[in-house]
A = this chain, B = another copy of it.
Amino acid sequence: MIPASQNAVGRPRASSRTVIEDAAAELFLENTYALTTIEQITQRAGVSRNTFFNYFDAKSDVLWVELDAAIDRLALELQAVPRGRPALAEMRAATIRVVSDIGVDRVPLALTQDDVMGTAEETRVSGLARLARRSDLIADFLAGQLYRSPNDLLVLSAANALSGAISAAWTVWARDGIGRRPLAEYMAEAFDVVSAGLETALSRTSLAE
C-alpha cells in the first residue's frame, strides 16, 4: 500500500478528504467516471478504501462537491430572509449571490465529464438528487414566505420549476465551454424565464383562499 506521504512530502499534510477528491478528479478525467472504482481512487490517494466512506456517502458525491456547497449556501441565504418579504425577488437575489463567486473556469467536476448530461444515466441521476434537494429547499422557503404548505401544488410546482431553471443554467453554462460568461448571468436569465408567470400565480393565491 502506498504511504499517504506520497501526496504531500514536506508541506502541511493535506486532509484525506482533499487527497481523495484530487485523486478522484484525476481518475475520472483519465478513465471516465464509470470505469473508475473507489478502490482505484483510494489507492491513488494513499488511503484505505474505507476512508473514502468516511468523507462521502457515495462515489457520485465526489462529482458534486461544488454544487453541494452552492446548495448549502443557498440554504443559508434563504434562512436569513425575514418572513413576508417578496418571495421570488428574494429567491432570485439569493440564487445569484450564491453563484456570483464561481469563476468561469471552476466548472464542477461532474459537468466536465462529457457523459454527464449525455447518455450516462449514472452520473446524471446523482446530479438529479441535487435538483431534488434544491427543490425541497425552495419549496420550504416559498411556503414560509407565502404562509402556505410546502406540499401545496402551487408551491411545489413553483419550486420544481425554479429548481429546474437553475439546473438549466448550470448545464448550459458548463456546456458553453471556454468562452462562457459568468454563471450568475445564466442564472438570471433562466430565473427570469420562469419567474414572470410564477409572480402572478403566486401573488394571486396568496390573497385568495
Residues 138-187 of A at the B interface (beta carbon under 8 Å):
151-154, 156-165, 167-169, 171-172, 175, 186
Binds B, one of A6-14, A19-27, A28-36, A121-129: A121-129
So how many copies of this chain end up in the complex? 2
Which residues from B are CB-within-8-Å of A156? 168, 171-172, 190
Which residues from B are CB-within-8-Å of A198? 193-194, 197
- The dominant DSSP class at the A interface is helix
Q: Given the known inter-chain contacts A196-B201, A197-B199, please indicate yes or no for A151 contacting B125, CB distance below 8 A.
A: no
Interface size class of A (residues with CB under 8 A): 35 or more
The CA of A61 and the CA of B159, in the complex, are separated in Å by 26
Can you spell out 19 A-B residue pairs with CB atoms less than 8 angstroms apart? A124-B132, A125-B125, A125-B129, A152-B172, A153-B168, A153-B190, A153-B193, A154-B189, A156-B171, A156-B172, A157-B190, A159-B164, A160-B165, A160-B167, A161-B164, A193-B198, A194-B197, A196-B200, A197-B200
